[in-house]
Amino acid sequence: MELFFYFFIFLFGLIVGSFLNVVIFRLESGEQVVRGRSHCRHCRHILEWYDLIPVLSFLALGGKCRYCGKALSVQYPLVELATGMLFVAIFNFQFNETTLYFPPSTFHPLLSTLYFLFIASSLIVIFVYDLKHYIIPDKIIYSAIIVSVFYLILGRIWEAGLPGSGFGSPASGVLGFENLIILFNPFIAAIAAGGFFFAIVLITKGAGMGGGDVKLAFLMGLALGWPKILAALFLAFTIGAICGIILMLLKKKNFKSEIPFGPFLVLGTFIALFWGEEIVRWYTGYLF
CA–CA distance, 65 with 73 (Å, rounded to integer): 10
From residue 47, how far is each of 38, 50, 56, 193 by CA, in Å? 6, 8, 15, 43
pLDDT confidence bin for 29, thresholds 50/70/90:
confident
The pLDDT tens digits of the residues spanning 65-112 come to 888 878 888 999 999 999 999 999 998 887 665 555 534 455 567 788
For the entire predicted model, the pTM comes to 0.86
CA–CA distance, 76 with 177 (Å, rounded to integer): 48
CA–CA distance, 255 with 269 (Å, rounded to integer): 26
- DSSP labels for 129-194? HHHHHS---HHHHHHHHHHHHHHHHHHHHHHHT-TT-SS---S-S---HHHHHHHHHHHHHHHHHH
Question: In this predicted structure, what is the pLDDT of residue 104?
Answer: 40
Q: pLDDT above 90 covers what percent of the chain?
A: 40
The pLDDT tens digits of the residues spanning 115-167 come to 999 999 999 999 999 999 899 999 999 999 999 998 888 876 666 554 444 44
